[in-house]
Chain A
Amino acid sequence: MRKIKSQLIYNLKKDKGSYISFGIVVLITAIMLNLAFVLLFQVDKAYDDKFNRLNTASFNFTILKIQNDDTLKEDIRALDDVVDIECREAVFAEAVVKDFRDTDFSMNTLFYNKDEFRNMNKLDIKEEKAEMTDNSIYLPLYVSAFGEFGIDDEIVYEIGDTKHSFKVSGVAEEMQYGNYGKGLMGAYLPEKVYEKFAEEYKEQTVMEYSVITNGDINTLQNEISDLTEKKGITMLTSCDRVSTKDTRTMVCNLIILVLSAFAMIILLVSVFLCKFRISNSIEEDMVNMGVLKALGYTGNMIIAGVVLPYLMVTVFASLSGVVLSYSVLPVLAEILTLQAGFSFALSFDIKGLICVMIILAVIVSLFTYTSAKRIRKLQPINAIRGNGEGKSVKKNYFPLDETNGRTKFLLVMKQTFSNGKQNVLLFGVSFVLTILVAFAGTMFYNVIIEPDNFISTLSEEMPQIIISPDMEQEDFISDELKSNTEIKSVLKYAVGTVNTDDMPVTVFACEDFSRVSNDLCYLGENPDEKNEIALGSAFEGKYDIGDRIEMHNGDISHFYEVTGFVQSVNYQGNVCEFSLEGYEMLCSEKLVPALYVYLDNPADTEKIFKEIEETYSDKIISIMNYQKMTETTQEMYSGITSVIVVVIFILTILIVLFVLYIVIKTLLVKRKQELGIYKAIGYSNRQLMIQTIGSFLPSSVIAVLLSSALGMIYVPKINQFIFETIGAMKNNMEVSFVFLMIFAFVQITANLIISILLTKPIKKISAYALIKEG
């Protein structure tokens, strides 16, 4: 072992810079991997723990109180696997929260009596005031944290034309609802306040049923909807354990996926880097190894000397990475809380540590070992003679006396080809490095530069302004707006709820889906005729394109033909699309769709919003600056994502620089003596710099350009994988060829600058010293 030690120290010392750079790349991988693992292992568990602690129901649904039927509770209790059931009264309101992050946020809200005993769906009070006022309200953590409503603040719910002002007296965590992207929330009023409020909204008083099951959630839903259907009862709202969890942990899952994908690509980079470094250090140290062999060192001892430094660096760097990642985790947890709506603390995770260590150590040692294996076959005499593996017959590429062309150019070609293996590895490193850049760059592009791409993937139709006109004025306003030069288009669009198998399904109905700004359809086509329907991804598998499906609304029902499938991350795919006429068939009254207004320049929204508001104040029921609301939702989704993306992007640049540093340095160290000889013959520094850079730049430039161009193919694949996992079958992430090419050129320029910086010291060393050192 002592014998190996001296070798090992020699190797470590000889190449400090490269090991440090390699270490940093591994460190970054370890940070990313550990973040991903800790989130993976702990957020889910923290969620379930809190979910169970608050005894949250597996399935909640509301029905109008007047439809309530005492037998329903007993019938549900009698169902298989049902463990417990609880009923409670609440007021359902299609409300708009004023001043939610500086905008009006429409949010269907269930107002509860906070003081009523809860066995299920308990509240975890985070903060509260000792004294109640006659307009006190307890807000869910979600609304409080993201909407920026603190204790003692005023919050205004606009219901119909009435504004209700409440004073925030407490904040509670609950695990019942999804996020506000889903548009359904709770609010909790002290008994006295509730009673007054419920009096005012008697006809909107609902019964909420909360059910806990041991069995499958879908089966339960189906059984319950069979029951309600039989009794002629309509569900107003529903939310289940699974889809709630999906929405609340979506950003977290997205981050885990992005981090893992990123870590995997860096890992690939480091693996190539190892291979590159090792095959080069074998060539550099061939004579040394030959001498050691001649002295009686065994192949394995020498291999250990080469592999162990990498393993040591890996172990050390990944440990440091894991430790470092814990300084980022609390921040990450806090931002995630905004989106997940419950607070959690991330603690040290031994499982994460072990996974990171095992993954990194195993992969690095595997690759270093296989690259170093050929040392064993090295014959001492060939090694000493510098003959390499002996077997490889050298070829004199481009013999100068027989090839046409300028000698100086041919010399570059000779270099390139006689270092063929090196250039192949360099090509590989540059290629995977570019995958990293393309991936991180595309994320950056879609989240930071063109955030609509990212947001529209996670949301539905996003006009700038939504107008609910008076019924008779609809066409008039529509026509007038269309003639406004600043308005790009106006679409009639309706959102509602219908039922199928008595489960509520959110409806998107549009006069012309070919004109929407966010086409949700990922399979087949959008509905066009009135008897057509496109179903959400939740229905894929149950129905095929061409099938017929029966949809209900109250007493009316119709059959529709399935034309395609649409996605909706917010509603977990529990949506459908109709043509306006198609939706109208299900409506008991005349349908008055909203007017979706699209502007040429979305930056003008505020101005035009005001104009429309003034001009048509007497002809419209309501008008909403949807752009602003979108921005607010956007903040929820992209806030943390953009932090992560920016960090990833910066790390990518660092990695690119470090890797290029190692690679180019390696190439130069190897050529040092050769350069000395050239210098002695009389080649100038400039000639040598051009020649050296010229011999390895082309392979990396080609790799970068090729990989960037292929990025058009592989980056969408990576994105597809990531987004499909969180339920977005079709993502609007754009891979910008121009952007990729810009990055390619940045990378190439970095390549060039680093090469020049690293080749510069050659100047300082006299030819004599170079020769002597070699």
Chain B
Amino acid sequence: MKDVLISAKSLKKEFYTGETSQTIFENLTLDIYKGDFTIIMGASGAGKSTLMYSLSGMDRPTSGSIVFSDKEITEYNDDELAVFRRKNCGFVFQQIYLLEKMSLMDNVLTAGALCNDNKKDVIKRAKELFSLVNIPEITQKKFSTQVSGGEAQRAGIVRAVINKPSVVFADEPTGALNSNNSEAVLNVFTKLHREGQSIIMVTHDKKTALRGNRVLYIRDGQIFGDCDLGNYSETDNERERKLDRFLTEMGW
């Protein structure tokens, strides 16, 4: 039996644009387990990102409850959420969003400084993580605009995990990358997952989805399907067939 890490109940999210409102999901209930590499799939505009950012305390659901590591985070105010995020959540974005005016290393340390006052420790961990994602020292000193998309995104992952978050949230992290770069980035995620890191990743790419062990499908504002794939392995073709069948069923 896996431990529940995030438990969402009766979630509802509405967007108001002027006069009209749009309900993205309603009465949505969902458990996320510790140690899982959870994939969220669905058509474009289905509300994948919206759901993920709600779960992570980056955005607020219109109503409903989210219990994250036994804490009700919907009751937190802005600053409490910020403090909560720095300890529990790491974010990886499609647009990467590294801070432009500093080196990759400094981007990572900027996040690291939030949870650990021992600078030496933080630097040591950053260096280890950089070598884990294969970014050499010379590149660590470059700016985000001076490195390839793949390198930038791997630095983004280092930034996301520097504070040993409970969950890494990744919103289409390979969406803007070519296939070589994608591969390298996904390998980092697999590596992290194997070390026990919980990950929630939004994607609409089947190959990417294969990296996860659980695939959720969002449709009509609901968790339309939930598929247990088992852990990733490069050689197991059965998983790929299982995912194909699942997605066909979902109307992908």
Contact = CB atoms under 8 A, between A and B. Distances in A.
Interface in A669-691: 673-674, 676-686
Given A674-B99, A674-B100, A769 B82 contact: no
Contacts of B114: 681-683
B97 A677 contact: yes
A407 B85 CA distance: 19
Contact of B82 (A394, A400, A682, A774): A682
For the side of the interface on B, what is the size category?
A: 35 or more
B110 A682 contact: no
B93 A681 contact: no
Interface stretch (B16-24, B101-109, B220-228): B101-109
B185 to A, nearest CB: 19
A686 B82 CA distance: 10
Given A394-B143, A771-B97, A401 B126 contact: yes
A515 interface: no
B79 to A, nearest CB: 4
A401 B106 contact: yes
Contacts of A500: none
Given A399-B141, A401-B123, A685-B82, A414 B106 contact: yes
B239 interface: no
Contact of A386 (B78, B122, B145): B145
Interface residues of A, number: 36
A41 interface: no
Given A407-B119, A766-B59, A680 B141 contact: no
B159 interface: yes
Contacts of A394: 101, 143, 145-146
A678 B145 CA distance: 18
Nearest to A686: B79
B82 A399 contact: no
B211 interface: no
B87 interface: yes
Given A385-B145, A386-B145, A766-B59, A683 B82 contact: yes
A677 B145 CA distance: 16
Given A685-B82, A771-B93, A396 B110 contact: no
Contacts of A679: 82
A213 interface: no
Chain A residues touching B, majority SS: helix
B225 to A, nearest CB: 26
B5 to A, nearest CB: 18
A681 B105 contact: no
Nearest to A673: B97
A769 B91 contact: no
A768 B110 contact: no
A396 B79 contact: no
Contacts of B159: 681
Interface string A741-774: 0000000000000000000000100111101001
Q: Which of A408, A414, A677, A681 is packed against the most chain B CB atoms within 10 Å?
A: A681
A217 to B, nearest CB: 68
A411 interface: yes
A682 B85 contact: yes
A387 interface: yes
A557 interface: no
A228 B124 CA distance: 102
Nearest to B101: A418
B132 interface: no
B109 A401 contact: yes
Given A400-B106, A407-B113, A771-B97, A682 B58 contact: no
B58 A767 contact: yes
Interface in A352-390: 385-387
A679 B84 CA distance: 11
A535 B205 CA distance: 96
A552 to B, nearest CB: 80
A570 B147 CA distance: 75
Given A401-B109, A682-B86, A682-B87, A414 B102 contact: yes
B111 A681 contact: yes
Interface in B146-163: 146, 159, 163
Interface in A399-441: 399-401, 406-408, 411, 414-415, 418-419
B79 A769 contact: no
B53 interface: yes
A396 B101 CA distance: 7
Contacts of A407: 109-110, 112-113, 119, 122
Contacts of B48: none
Given A396-B106, A400-B109, A682 B83 contact: yes
A678 to B, nearest CB: 8
A380 to B, nearest CB: 15
Given A394-B143, A673-B97, A768-B58, 10 more contacts: A394-B146, A400-B102, A400-B105, A679-B82, A681-B159, A682-B82, A682-B84, A682-B85, A682-B115, A685-B82
Interface of B: 53, 58-60, 78-79, 82-87, 89, 91, 93, 97-103, 105-106, 109-115, 119, 122-123, 126, 141, 143, 145-146, 159, 163
25 contacts: A396-B106, A396-B141, A396-B143, A399-B105, A399-B106, A400-B109, A400-B110, A401-B105, A407-B110, A407-B122, A414-B102, A414-B106, A674-B99, A674-B101, A679-B82, A681-B91, A681-B114, A681-B159, A682-B115, A684-B82, A684-B83, A686-B79, A766-B78, A767-B59, A771-B93
